[in-house]
Amino acid sequence: MATDTDTARIEGFGEVSRVRGIVFEYLSLGASVLGIFALAVLLIYVTIDAFDLAGTSPVWLLTYFVTLVVPFLAFCLYSARDREVTRRAVTVSGGGLVAVAAVFTAIETFVGQIPRLNWQLAYLFVVVAPLTGYLVYVGARGRPGAVGFGLVGRLIGGTAIGLAFSVLFLVFDERLWFLAYTIGIVPAALVYGYGRVRDVSVASAAAIPIAVLGVLVAVLLRPVVDVYPTTVFIYLWTLAIPIAAAGALLVNGRGNRTAALVAGGVPLALAVVIGLFGRAAGLGVGGPNALLVISVAGVPTAVYLHRVFDVGEGVTGLGVPVLLVGGALVGAFVVETFGIPTPNPWVSETFLTEAPSRNARDAGLYPAIVGSVIIIAMVAVFSFVLGVATSVFLEEYTADSGVIGALTRLLQINIANLAAVPSVVYGLLGLGLFANLLGFGFGTAVTVSLTLSLLILPITIISAQEAIRSVPDDLRRGSDAMGATRWQTTKNVVLPEAFPGILTGTILALGRAIGETAPLIMVGAATTVFSAPSSLFSKFSAMPMQIYAWANFPQEEFRYGVVAAGVITLLIILIGMNGTAILLRNRAERGT
Amino acid sequence: MSNTPSSDTRSSDSLITTDVETGSNDRTAESRATAVATRDLNVYYGDEQAIDDVSMDIPENRVTALIGPSGCGKSTFLRCINRMNDMIEVCRVEGEVEFGGKNVYDADVDPVALRRRIGMVFQKPNPFPKSIRDNVAYGLKIQGFDGDVDERVEESLKGAALWDEVKDQLDSSGLDLSGGQQQRLCIARAIAPDPEVILMDEPTSALDPVAASKIEDLIDDLAEEYTVIIVTHNMQQAARISDRTAVFLTGGRLVEYDDTAKIFEDPEEQRVEDYITGKFG
């Protein structure tokens, strides 16, 4: 690289030195690569520990590589239909194998032993994982890939949302929900629908007051009424049927009545049958939660299937779930038949469904997962509602000048500074305000979620303000000139346009809330709880608290295996949550 | 792109000369009721005076053009009529603007209710990021219109000479249209709630000449039903489409206000003639 800044004269034109820019570019690149590399090494080791990959026999890895990974990658290549990509993928996987094995052996021979890693694992992480990511990305651009990944996404996402719902019902009273739904929401929806169909605007306007009134009546009736249907029936009536009806309406809107009945009816019937008789028939699943999960995952899947068949392109992509499940089953069969030793991962069914234990192998994260999910749901609602309301007030309603303007600026400065206040201080505030003064109790869900909401509120407000400010003034003036009130302009023009930006800020802020420990310790959240919470005022723990507690255990199994499993679980839930929110946001961006 | 029905028989390529064909042939300003009138209107932005003692009567169902150099207060004048200046905190209005038999700056006039009777089209097309149908139905929605919305949407789009181009894509976004189509969409949006007056603030200055001429034809048709007040920088345009012309010069003074033909052929004031013929401004 030339370092002289003189311009060399070549045939008339000078040459302008770009040395500083180039140095800056490569320094930045180097720094980012270094950061990503460090994080990757950490995550690789956490994964190895959590899944006990260090003790895995290479034959086991090879079996699943052949039955699961290779067919999946082949599908991605088939979807991409790009000779160049195929050639590149084969070169990388083959050449990578040789290169990784050679480099690994060289390091082991000349430098020293690399702990808990062998060349097969190194190949898996260095070549196979990035290659899979790349091929999924390329494959999704082909029609079969898009269809296949869309289907898998709906199945997994629906299941996760269904499970989250069932977790929420652990602390929220489903009987109160039943009353509120029956007395408030159903009549309101009927009145609204009537108003829309018959073009009676009074009826549409009456829907919200009816809903509010109904919910209030339900709250009053809850202590009086003591005859309720079973939980299965409540879930069926309040969740499964409306979801199925919404799915059917969606398909019907595309103009096919029979398909609508099938798309709504089949998942509903499946959910009811398994929910009612699954246990009795010895399926291993059943009960109200099964009904909930199957309907939440099934209906969107059915609607999606209808659309895929309607469009008629990339139908082969629907084989992806079969490919994945089939690959796993074949792999299991081969492992079983040939007696290949299987690894003993820390992230297991026990870990996800059992309470913590003194014995590392029996330790579970279930109460903490439930706690985190409930806290996050409440924080999302509190901080979103408060944050959007505050930012709308600050951006659209307050004046810029005069006394009000000065007060607004003061408020603005305060909010900006609050974003920089350490989380321990928020913990102290939560302890004093919510736990002591308002008497919500130490370490209860209400106290913890209100404290975390306060903690992320400044971030939510500032990002929502940015989003609202970026809505062009032309649109506001256009709406004002039509004779819209400030509220109508905000509701109809500003908020829909700012929504994706607001959601981005909330997602980032929630990511921070889910990982917080310090304020939780301050408000007295338990590090370890042995049973899932049963009400909003019972003792709570959250995943980071539990992981932190395990990290202090003397046994090595805890510090390596169980902590790693906890971290992986936390990350997966965080990524799943963010992923869902980002998908929602992208949909909102495209939807307008 | 379909062709806009054109009832315009005047030549649109004549340049401004003293003998340019002007005004609408079949419409004269006499014997017309007044739609909007101002009395001693003064507007200040802080200490700066933007409008200086303007009194004028704007006739019903006619196109009135406001012309003048930049910064002469013609847009400010336009925004006084539907009180859009209220949004600007430093803006102060003195005097009267009469509309519908009332001074719109009276304490008991609700500016929101006022704007529902006056439509406005801006310089830059500003359709909402919603479907074409929702854009046109916007005014109906916020005003709680109880009739057949789809019918009114169709009528308004036809009124804005846009129906034939978009009737098959009413559910696609208004932002997908071309600039000229977007501006006609904004006109459709403005006329959908059936206002009495339509204010246009340089509606063609961001458009290419073909799109602009379509809008000009449209303005001519709109005057059948509405009172149109248009601010323009384009003198040919003022000459072609307006029945009355008001010339504002620097400092927010109304220098001359008369039939368009008179202004362009035989203005009273030397300054107006200089401005129109391009000697100044």
Q: Tens digits of per-residue pLDDT, A143-196?
A: 888 889 989 988 988 898 898 888 888 888 888 999 999 988 898 988 888 877
The reply to whether A192 falls in a domain is: no
Cα torsion angle, B273, B275, B276, B277, sign? positive
The CA distance from A309 to A311, in Å, is: 5
Q: Which residue has the tokens 């404290």?
A: A451
| pTM of the predicted model as reported, rounded to 2 decimal places | 0.81
Look up the CATH number of the domain holding residue A446.
1.10.3720.10
The reply to whether A222 falls in a domain is: no
**Whether residues A135 and A24 fall in one domain:** no
Instruction: Print the SS3 string covering A323-337.
Output: HHHHHHHHHHHHHHH
SS3 B43: strand
Name every chain A residue with its beta carbon within 8 A of the beta carbon of B82.
481
Name every chain B residue with its beta carbon within 8 A of the beta carbon of A496.
129-130
**Whether residues A404 and A516 fall in one domain:** yes
| Domain B27-276 class, CATH top level | alpha beta
pLDDT score at B15: 40
User: Cβ A477–B186 below 8 Å, yes or no?
Assistant: no
The CA distance from A391 to A502, in Å, is: 10
Of residues A418 and A588, the one with the higher pLDDT is A418
Distance of CA A86 to the CA centre of its chain: 32
User: Cβ A400–B189 below 8 Å, yes or no?
Assistant: no
**Does residue B173 sit at the A interface (CB-CB below 8 Å)?**
yes
Which of residues A125, A141, A157 is at a domain's end? A141
Residue of A nearest to B186 (CA): A478
Q: What is the mean pLDDT of residues A395-413?
A: 87
pLDDT per residue as tens, chain B (281 positions) = 344 444 443 443 434 443 444 444 455 545 578 889 999 999 998 888 888 888 999 998 899 999 988 888 888 999 999 998 888 888 889 999 998 888 989 888 898 999 999 999 999 999 999 899 999 999 998 888 877 888 999 989 988 888 988 989 888 888 999 988 999 999 999 999 989 999 999 998 888 888 888 889 889 888 888 999 999 988 888 999 999 999 998 888 888 998 998 888 888 888 888 888 887 65
**Whether residues A21 and A124 fall in one domain:** no
What residues of chain B, 13 to 52, have a C-beta less than 8 Å from chain A? none
pLDDT score at A250: 85
Name every chain B residue with its beta carbon within 8 A of the beta carbon of A199.
146, 148
**Whether residues A541 and A584 fall in one domain:** yes
User: Cβ B190–A484 below 8 Å, yes or no?
Assistant: no
The CA distance from A68 to A66, in Å, is: 6
**Does residue B59 sit at the A interface (CB-CB below 8 Å)?**
no
Token readout for A349 is 């069914």
Per the prediction, chain A carries an average pLDDT of 87
User: Cβ B186–A482 below 8 Å, yes or no?
Assistant: no
| Number of domains into which chain A is organized | 3
**Whether residues A129 and A24 fall in one domain:** no
Q: Which residue segment(s) compose the domain that A135 sits in?
A: 52-141
Residue of B nearest to A488 (CA): B142
Distant-in-sequence, close-in-space partners of B57: CB < 8 Å, separation ≥ 6: B34, B36, B37
SS3 B26: coil
**Whether residues A365 and A409 fall in one domain:** yes
DSSP assignment, residue B82? Answer: T
Q: What is the mean pLDDT of residues A471-494?
A: 92
Q: At residue A8, does pLDDT exceed 80?
A: no
Distance from CA of B138 to the nearest CA of A (A): 8
Predicted ipTM of the assembly: 0.84
The residue of A479, A480, A482 whose CB has the most chain B CBs within 10 angstroms, and thus the best one to mutate to test that interface, is: A482
User: Cβ B87–A477 below 8 Å, yes or no?
Assistant: yes
Distant-in-sequence, close-in-space partners of B14: CB < 8 Å, separation ≥ 6: B20, B21, B236
Name every chain B residue with its beta carbon within 8 A of the beta carbon of A480.
84, 87, 115
User: Cβ A199–B114 below 8 Å, yes or no?
Assistant: no
Mean pLDDT lowest among A57-71, A250-264, A319-333, A361-375: A250-264
pLDDT-based confidence at A11, cuts 50/70/90?
low
Distant-in-sequence, close-in-space partners of B123: CB < 8 Å, separation ≥ 6: B201, B202, B203, B205, B206
**Does residue B186 sit at the A interface (CB-CB below 8 Å)?**
yes
Contact between B198 and B120 under an 8 Å Cβ cutoff? The reply is yes
pLDDT score at A591: 54
Token readout for A361 is 């192998």
pLDDT score at B27: 54
The reply to whether A35 falls in a domain is: yes
Nearest to B124 among A400, A474, A485 (CB): A474
Name every chain B residue with its beta carbon within 8 A of the beta carbon of A493.
128
Token readout for B114 is 């006022």
Which of residues A92, A108, A141 is at a domain's end? A141
DSSP per residue over B99-138, as a string? Answer: ETTEETTSTT--HHHHHTTEEEE-SS----SSBHHHHHHH
The CA distance from A291 to A128, in Å, is: 37
Nearest to B126 among A199, A399, A474 (CB): A474
Q: Which residue has the tokens 């959240």?
A: A525
pLDDT score at A580: 80
Name every chain A residue with its beta carbon within 8 A of the beta carbon of B90.
401
User: Cβ B115–A480 below 8 Å, yes or no?
Assistant: yes
How crowded is residue B271: how many other Cβ atoms within 10 Å of its Cβ? 17
The reply to whether A236 falls in a domain is: no
Contact between A7 and A14 under an 8 Å Cβ cutoff? The reply is yes
pLDDT digits (tens, 9 = 90+) for A570-589: 999 888 888 888 887 887 77
pLDDT score at B246: 92
User: Cβ A493–B173 below 8 Å, yes or no?
Assistant: no
Nearest to A482 among B113, B124, B139 (CB): B139
pLDDT-based confidence at A489, cuts 50/70/90?
very high
| CA end-to-end span of chain A | 50
Nearest to A592 among B87, B115, B173 (CB): B173
Strand partners, B118: B197
Name every chain A residue with its beta carbon within 8 A of the beta carbon of B129.
475, 496-497, 592
Instruction: Print the SS3 string covering A420-488.
Output: CCCHHHHHHHHHHHHHHHCCCCCCEHHHHHHHHHHHHHHHHHHHHHHHHHCCCHHHHHHHHHCCCCHHH
Q: Where are the domains of chain B?
A: 27-276
Q: Which residue has the tokens 């549409």?
A: A204
Nearest to B89 among A399, A472, A480 (CB): A399
Name every chain B residue with its beta carbon within 8 A of the beta carbon of A592.
129-130, 173
pLDDT score at A424: 92
The reply to whether A204 falls in a domain is: no
Q: At residue A467, does pLDDT exceed 80?
A: yes
Distance from CA of A503 to the nearest CA of B (A): 18
**Does residue B198 sit at the A interface (CB-CB below 8 Å)?**
no
Token readout for B83 is 């009180």
